[in-house]
Chains A and B, each alone.
Chain A
Amino acid sequence: SYELTQPPSMSVSPGQTASITCSGDKLGDNYACWYQQKPGQSPVLVIYQNDKRPSGIPERFSGSYSGNTATLTISGTQAMDEAEYYCQAWDSSTALFGGGTKLTVL
Chain B
Amino acid sequence: QVQLVESGGGLVKPGGSLRLSCAASGFTLSDYYMSWIRQAPGKGLEWVSSISSSGTYTHYAETVRGRFSISRDNAKTSLYLQMNSLRDEDTAVYYCAIASGTSYEGGGWFDPWGQGTLVTVSS
Contact = CB atoms under 8 A, between A and B. Distances in A.
Contact of B44 (A31, A90, A94, A97): A97
A24 interface: no
B26 to A, nearest CB: 15
B120 interface: no
Q: How large is the interface on A (under 10, 10 to 19, 20 to 34, 35 or more residues)?
A: 20 to 34
Q: How large is the interface on B (under 10, 10 to 19, 20 to 34, 35 or more residues)?
A: 20 to 34
Contacts of A54: 111
Q: Is the interface of A mostly helix, strand, loop or mixed?
A: strand
Nearest to B6: A42
A86 B39 CA distance: 12
Interface stretch (B12-20, B74-82, B101-109): B101-109
Interface string B45-80: 111001000000001011000000000000000000
- Most chain A CB within 10 A, of B46, B50, B110, B114, is at B110
Given A49-B101, A95-B35, A31 B47 contact: no
Interface in B10-44: 35, 37, 44
Contact of A33 (B50, B109, B114): B109
